[in-house]
Chains A and B, each alone.
Chain A
Amino acid sequence: MLRNAFIVLSHSINPNPNPNFPISLPHLLKFSISRSSLPNLHRFSSAHSLTNRTSRHFCSSTTQSSMADAGNSSSSSSSSSSMEKQFEGFLQQLEQSGNLRDRIRAVAAEIESSTRLMHSCLLLVHQSRPIPEVTARAEAQIDVLKGLYRRLAEILRELPGQYYRYHGDWRTETQTAISLIAFLHWLQTENLLVHSEVEQKLGLDSSEFGLDIEDYLIGICSMSNELPRYVVNQVTTGDYDCPRKVLAFLTDLHASFRMLNLRNDFLRKKFDGMKYDLRRVEEVYYDVKIRGLAPIGDSTGDQGTQA
């Protein structure tokens, strides 16, 4: 009796059966039955006698006892320890993955702060600073970013084929970086920075650590958000040709995006936002042109090339 009570106690503390302790069917029965009546030792003894009756009853039916046997083996020490082992393994692997993720997030945070610096540099274009001065300072950050992406690639090299497992941890930062780099590139060349060029600039390699095309496209959509503001401020400082250039670029870009079959996802949402940028630039262009402020020669020339 005392021994049984001890077993009950030790089991209630540690429900996992001790592998060193041989557990027979009646023991298990006692254990599980007495769990609900543990505080009442008096009832425990009556439950005990009930157990004997029920177990005798179970033994009378072969089918039933075979099912009970099959079930009981789950609580036998061998299978339980294999379950234990498997979950311990999971824990270990998941913790490892968590550590890796922390390292990735640390780099992603650095990417973010680098893009923030770059953004603040680029914001100077709205204050009509000369473009070469603005871009020179912003461009310095590209090298920083390149270094950070190299570090990211090194971390991921430890786990080949799991790029997209951790992708979410750097994708927002990367999209911002791309939108800024593309804007910078546009300021310098008035052209769109294509995917392969971004990879080149950031030292990424599609075969190993590449740039996801959807991230690139989202970045480009974000870049267009900057353009209406740029046009407004350029016109204010007297650059009347700017709306024409921006409009031509944005029209091309919008038309190009319309070639894509998008899903109902974030990229689609970003693209839907682009038409408002386009409209705003069109309005500015209209305002400038209707007042005869736009340089006439260039404007007709533009129409000529486009039509």
Chain B
Amino acid sequence: MLVRCSTALQRFYVIMATSFDKSTVAAEARPSSNPAKKPRKMSTSAAAMTAAFDKYAHYLNTLNDKRERVVKASRDITINSKKVIFQVHRISKYNRDEVLEKAEKDLAAVTDQYMSRLVKELQGTDFWKLRRAYSPGVQEYVEAATLYEFCKTGKLLNLEAINASLLPLSDPSFEPLQINILDYVLGVADLTGELMRLAIGRISDGELEYAKTICRFVREIYRKLTLVVPTMDENYEMKKKMDTMLQSVVKIENACFSVHVRGSEYIPLLGCSSDPNFSFLGAQVLEL
């Protein structure tokens, strides 16, 4: 009975809260400053409480909406960065330039369309506040950009270079969004997985030397990261990635090893004229 009575009262307060005048909200009454009238105290304190909570509600709504938009932007970045990565994987010894050209275009599109949306959303706020919301997208973006760069130049794209490419996206009146070290390192950790796939693909395509280059590169990254990881903030995720990364390194090494051991048996075969690709390769050489 009393419980029901109290819920009715609650309903009344909610109605009161929603119909509360905005102008009174702005001038937030200090409930402690007027302890004068005892019988009316309850209602004034309730009003003050409502006024205060109206502000909190507004804050939470704005924050949650923003978070949703950031999550969406991050997801779009992830999807489209994945496309860049797949494009890079289409590389083979014959279509390298063509594939990389398209990948570059795709990557530029991700930067211009989706990263810029994230930058616009986050500018003027503490970038760490919503980091959880955008970190996955940024990691994927780092992965795509570094993978493309590796295939293009064989080097690891520096964080500085990525951040420099993001500078033109942001409004100069705000502090520009810069990818933090943690997201960059997490992205580079994922890069090794993609490089493993690339190496295996190259080996089956007969490009053993390229696979070995990848192997050295990935090993080097792994070695560098073993030092950095213990100092990272929340390194649980990173520790898992380190294990995966080691597996990738070992996979590449094993693949290189098995081609190597059996190399004397079938590597010369690739070069023999019975290989149907060989004439094609020769034609390409002539074109160049």
Chain A residues within 8 Å of B, Cβ to Cβ? 15-16, 29, 32-33, 36, 50, 53-54, 57-58, 60-64, 66-68, 70-75, 79-80, 82-84, 86-87, 90-91, 93-95, 97-98, 101, 161-165, 167, 185, 189-192, 194-197, 213-214, 216-217, 247-249, 251-263, 278-279, 282, 285-286, 289, 301-302, 305-307
Contact of B10 among A29, A97, A251 (CB under 8 A): A251
Give which listed residue, B9, B61, B185, B214, contacts A71 with CB less than 8 A: B214
Mask: chain B, 188-204; 1 = CB below 8 Å from A; 0 = not: 00000000000000000
- Known A-B contacts A71-B213, A86-B158; the reply to A192 vs B208 at CB < 8 A is no
Known pairs A195-B52, A259-B18, A260-B60; list 18 more (Cβ under 8 Å).
A36-B256, A58-B209, A62-B288, A63-B93, A74-B154, A74-B155, A80-B220, A82-B158, A84-B224, A86-B159, A90-B228, A95-B231, A161-B127, A167-B128, A195-B56, A217-B56, A257-B53, A305-B40
The chain A residue sitting closest to B261, CB to CB, is: A36
Known: A70-B153, A162-B126, A189-B32. A260 touches B3 (CB 8 A): no
Given the contacts A255-B13, A260-B56, A191 and B31 also touching, CB distance less than 8 Å: yes
CB < 8 Å: which of A32, A165, A214, A252 contacts B49?
A: A252
Report B-chain residues with C-beta under 8 Å of the C-beta of A98: 231
> Which chain A residues lie closer than 8 Å to B30 at the CB level?
197
Residues from chain A with Cβ under 8 Å of B35 in the complex: 189
- Check B223 against A15 for contact (C-beta < 8 Å): yes
Is A162 a contact of B60 with CB atoms below 8 Å?
no
Query: Could you say which of A63, A70, A279 contacts B94, with CB atoms under 8 Å apart?
Result: A63
Indicate whether B48 reaches chain A with its CB closer than 8 angstroms. Answer: yes
The answer to whether B154 touches A79, judged by C-beta atoms less than 8 angstroms apart, is yes
Report yes or no: B155 in contact with A73, Cβ–Cβ below 8 A. yes
A21–B76 Cα distance when bound, in Å, is: 46
Interface residues of B in 22-42 (CB under 8 A from A): 28, 30-32, 35, 39-42
A252 touches B6 (CB 8 A): no
B59 touches A213 (CB 8 A): yes
- In the complex the two chains form, what is the Cα distance from A53 to B209 in whole Å? 13
B170 at the A/B interface (Cβ < 8 Å)?
no
Task: Let me know if B210 and A68 touch, CB within 8 A.
Answer: yes
Can you pick out 7 interface pairs between chain A and chain B where the beta carbons lie within 8 Å of each other?
Answer: A91-B228, A194-B52, A196-B28, A251-B6, A256-B13, A302-B42, A305-B43
**Among all A-B residue pairs, the 10 with the closest Cβ atoms:** A71-B213, A255-B13, A164-B128, A74-B154, A94-B231, A256-B53, A191-B31, A165-B128, A164-B129, A194-B52
Flag if B263 contacts A50 (CB, 8 Å): yes
Q: Interface on chain B toward A: helix, strand, loop, or mixed SS?
A: helix
Contact of A162 among B48, B128, B156 (CB under 8 A): B128
Tell me, in angstroms, the Cα distance from A262 to B64 when the chains sit together: 9
Contacts of A167 in B (CB 8 A): 128-129
**Interchain pairs with CB closer than 8 A, number:** 231
Q: A68-B213, A74-B216, A261-B61 are in contact. Are A252 and B45 (CB under 8 A)?
A: yes
Q: Contact partner of A248 among B28, B42, B160, CB < 8 A?
A: B42
B159's nearest neighbour on chain A, judged by CB, is A86
Contact assessment for A279 and B3 in the assembled complex, using a CB-CB cutoff below 8 Å: yes
Closest to A279 in B: B3
- Known pairs A50-B264, A190-B41, A257-B53; A247 contacts B154 (CB<8 A): no
Docked pose: A254 CA to B53 CA in angstroms: 11
Which of A53, A86, A87, A191 is the one whose CB lies under 8 Å from B32? A191
CA distance A262 to B57 in the complex (A): 9
B168 in contact (CB, < 8 A): no
Q: Does B219 interact with chain A (Cβ within 8 Å)?
A: yes
- Say yes or no: A255-B207 contact (C-beta < 8 A), given A94-B228, A162-B128: no
| B232 contacts partner chain A, Cβ-Cβ < 8 Å | yes
Closest to B150 in A: A74
- Contact check, A83 vs B227: say whether CB atoms are below 8 A apart: no
Given A94-B232, A95-B231, verify A32-B216 contact (CB < 8 Å).
yes
B208 touches A54 (CB 8 A): yes
A34 to chain B, nearest CB (A): 10
In the complex the two chains form, is A15's CB within 8 Å of B219's CB?
A: yes
Q: Which residue of A is nearest B17, CB measured?
A: A259
The answer to whether B31 and A192 have CB atoms under 8 Å apart is yes
Residue of B nearest to A244 (CB): B42
Q: Are A32 and B45 in contact (CB under 8 A)?
A: no
Chain B residue at minimum C-beta to C-beta distance from A185: B32
A-facing residues in B140-196 (Cβ within 8 Å): 150-156, 158-160, 175, 181, 185
